[in-house]
Chains A and B, each alone.
Chain A
């Protein structure tokens, strides 16, 4: 029970991180972006390239920081990957979504996002191949925190949880304490009114993509650290991240964080009541349950009101 709960929180932190960017993009650009989760893959693979590069250039960086499997090379690579992923998110917007936004409706955007997702996934496959990649061949063994009840946690998982929370906190401070944060929230609230107030919409859109891409890249690296990299990893995240976003309420950053944890914990606990073959349905059940009670999600607002 405790183990399932802790596992759920650890998995949930990755969902939360990915859902933050997703909820902002969905809210600001008003479309369901199915290519968003592919940013996790881009981030994960970009970090892989730079991790190898840094470790080769400066061998001292390639030594694991005990007791983690994490190396300084990977930390640096992750920062680079966050920038690269943010930039590629901006690039996709400029190449595809911006053009479609200008002349077509939201439904066309949804279909375009499917196309972008397919292209990204297959380009990753083309470059890196189908096989699983790992940052470190070592398996980080879990530490026994308690024997009764049994509680096992990997040091890497604790690190990813702390790092995810730090990133979320940093983003929270940016949103609440800076002029940029106010502008961002203003655009999310009402794009037209914020433009009247002197916020440049186009640069805010770019900023949202950069932030979303960066956070997704971090989520991708954290996921790959505790699991492994594969071209379909982004695809596997689509549903849980969507579930987290919808549960939290589209547009609510805090809702997305909470939604991520809810989906993670519920998937972890589901095994205690459901046969293992049915647990993948859990995110859908949560979406349905939340939407039945609160049609706009836990923190969502009624747009039309």
Chain B
């Protein structure tokens, strides 16, 4: 008898199981199908960021006489931001482990920390943006600045959406417990959160590190 987590994606009542290999055993179960689909979405999001990186690379020198990369970026601030985001991913991982063990208190604590470190990241980013705008280096100043604010801002928007999702997940787990479908959603959230880390690594390398080379 298949359990709820192993129940196949849609209504299988004949020889279903978890691993389809090359399709010999029928449709895969939900615990495989849902994360698989979410990974595909993450791939499409990576393509989205690739297009933003391509725009950035094309426009990075189009400063229209205005400020350029080496005049704007503060490596120390970026280091703190990065630390915040990476630790956010770390505690997110701890939250997943606690959820697997169905430990409500610990899960909520780690998830809360995930959110708080995420907020720290966002806060620093908004501060940086505000500072640049105040100095006249806002996105309307030049094509380079438009592409910078869009690339980094899009990542920040994803982080913001992720925090909204996180809040919703925390509420759901609290209200309904560690139901199979809720665990699957939490898994998807953590994949999303870690993927944002990967994008951030690319951003701080291409934008901030390369941009502030001597």
| A, B from the same assembly | no
